[in-house]
């Protein structure tokens, strides 16, 4: 499972009552646990799918959308794994798979989780590259971008194959009566290296993105300070710095949510079925927060959503063609155009999105 101490409190207590629970009809708490996860899963998977489609449809103009789109695939799978799947196990009172299939299902679950973690690192690098090397980042080829994204999934698969067949590896499985997941041998999980392995991996997936984000923010502050030295360049430079900071915020915030989730799970969420249910909820919310953040901080995605509900709307073709035109012009000429007008042009507002 993803976390280094995922079910410290749970073990296998209460399993003697599983047979009687399975034979009983659904109780109110069973329906609440199952339908809440099912509802959250459906809502956020649909929302994220729309956001992912918007990003993919404009990834030729907005380089950062390529990395975020790739990450959205892993996040949507995670939403299914930690909402829809456990919801069905609870509502049907069945594990839905045989005992022999647990190991292979665990491989799939860990592959998706590791893929998401590697995307944290790649997305953080993309934020740094967009600020440190803006010109080369804007002309980055789709092949190169998606090759990096594919590497996340390949590295995750290699990691799964290198760990799942080790003697120390312990399988986790969905336990419907506990509203979540349990381990087949929790003492072995804690004492023979698997817990340490996950803790170390998650620590690296926190430290590496933190380095890129910290460096990117430092560069933004430095650019803003340098821009304020000359009175003529104050408005364009400060506007760009504020926009860059705004675009990096959702990525940083998502990393913070990931860190908080790991801390809460490590400390513990209590004992009993609602504790395991809370773990499922924490894992799912780690992915569910991403489309909400993108809606909050991306004007293009917000405009696309508005088009779904507003019948008469201005076309966005001019907006995207302007992004392409901006890529083909020199930064010096754009700055001089802004100086002559005295106000940031529409291009200035649009080009900021190419960093997203």
Lowest pLDDT segment from 97-106, 307-316, 335-344: 335-344
Whether residue 144 has pLDDT greater than 90? yes
Rounded distance between C-alpha atoms, residue 185 and residue 11, angstroms = 8
At 354 the pLDDT is: 42
Whether residue 15 has pLDDT greater than 90? no
CB-hemisphere CA count at 13 Å for 305?
18
**Centroid of chain to Cα 243:** 21
Q: Which residue has the higher pLDDT, 315 or 198?
A: 198
Distances (CA, A) of 169 to 165, 309, 342: 7, 50, 63
At 270 the pLDDT is: 57
Give the domain ranges of the chain.
Answer: 15-355
Burial 94-116 (b: 16+ CB within 10 A, else e): ebeeeeeebeebbbebbbbbbbb
Question: Which superfamily is assigned to 15-355 in CATH?
Answer: Rhodopsin 7-helix transmembrane proteins (1.20.1070.10)
Q: How confident is the model at residue 337 (pLDDT cuts 50, 70, 90)?
A: very low
Q: Where are the alpha helices (DSSP H) in the chain?
A: 18-23, 28-57, 63-79, 85-92, 102-132, 134-138, 142-163, 186-191, 194-227, 234-267, 273-297, 299-309, 317-328, 331-341, 346-351
Rounded to the nearest 10 degrees, how much is the dihedral formed by the CA atoms of 129, 132, 137, 138?
Answer: 130
The encoded tokens of residue 186 equal 């929790």
In the chain, pLDDT over 90 holds for what percent of residues?
A: 38
* pLDDT tens track for 38-84: 999 999 999 999 999 999 998 888 888 999 999 999 999 999 999 99
* pLDDT tens track for 254-312: 778 888 777 776 665 557 788 889 889 988 988 999 999 989 888 888 888 888 877 55
* pLDDT tens track for 93-102: 888 898 899 9
Whether residue 347 has pLDDT greater than 80? no
Does the predicted TM-score (pTM) go above 0.85?
no
Question: Which SS3 state, helix, strand or coil, does residue 182 take?
Answer: strand
Provide the 8-state DSSP code for 173.
E
């Amino acid at each position: 499972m993803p976390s280094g101490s995922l079910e410290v409190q749970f073990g296998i207590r209460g399993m003697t009552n599983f047979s009687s629970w399975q034979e009983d009809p659904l109780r109110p708490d069973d329906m609440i646990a199952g339908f809440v996860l099912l509802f959250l899963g459906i809502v956020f998977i649909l929302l994220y799918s729309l956001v992912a489609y918007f990003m993919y449809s404009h990834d030729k103009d907005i380089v950062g959308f390529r990395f975020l789109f790739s990450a959205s695939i892993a996040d949507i799978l995670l939403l299914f794994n930690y909402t829809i799947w456990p919801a069905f196990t609870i509502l049907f009172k069945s594990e839905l798979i045989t005992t022999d299939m647990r190991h292979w299902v665990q491989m799939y679950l860990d592959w998706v989780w590791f893929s998401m973690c590697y995307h944290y690192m790649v997305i953080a690098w993309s934020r740094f590259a967009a600020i440190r090397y803006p010109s080369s980042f804007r002309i980055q080829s789709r092949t190169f971008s998606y090759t990096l994204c594919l590497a996340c999934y390949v590295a995750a698969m290699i990691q799964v194959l290198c760990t799942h067949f080790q003697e120390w590896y312990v399988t986790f499985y969905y336990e419907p009566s506990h509203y979540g997941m349990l381990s087949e041998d929790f003492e072995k999980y804690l004492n023979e290296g698997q817990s340490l392995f996950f803790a170390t991996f998650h620590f690296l997936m926190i430290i590496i993105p933190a380095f890129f984000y910290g460096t990117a923010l430092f560069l933004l502050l430095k650019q803003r300070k340098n821009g304020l030295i000359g009175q003529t360049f104050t408005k364009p430079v400060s506007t760009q710095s504020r926009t860059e900071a705004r675009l990096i915020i959702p990525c940083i915030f998502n990393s913070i949510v990931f860190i908080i989730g790991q801390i809460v799970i490590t400390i513990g969420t209590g004992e009993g079925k609602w504790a395991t249910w809370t773990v499922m909820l924490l894992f799912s919310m780690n992915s569910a927060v991403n489309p909400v953040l993108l809606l909050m901080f991306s004007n293009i995605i917000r405009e696309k959503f508005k088009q779904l509900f507003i019948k008469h709307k201005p076309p966005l073709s001019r907006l995207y063609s302007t992004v392409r035109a901006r890529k083909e012009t020199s930064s010096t000429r754009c700055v001089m155009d802004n100086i002559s007008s005295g106000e940031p042009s529409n291009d200035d507002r649009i080009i900021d999105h190419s960093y997203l």
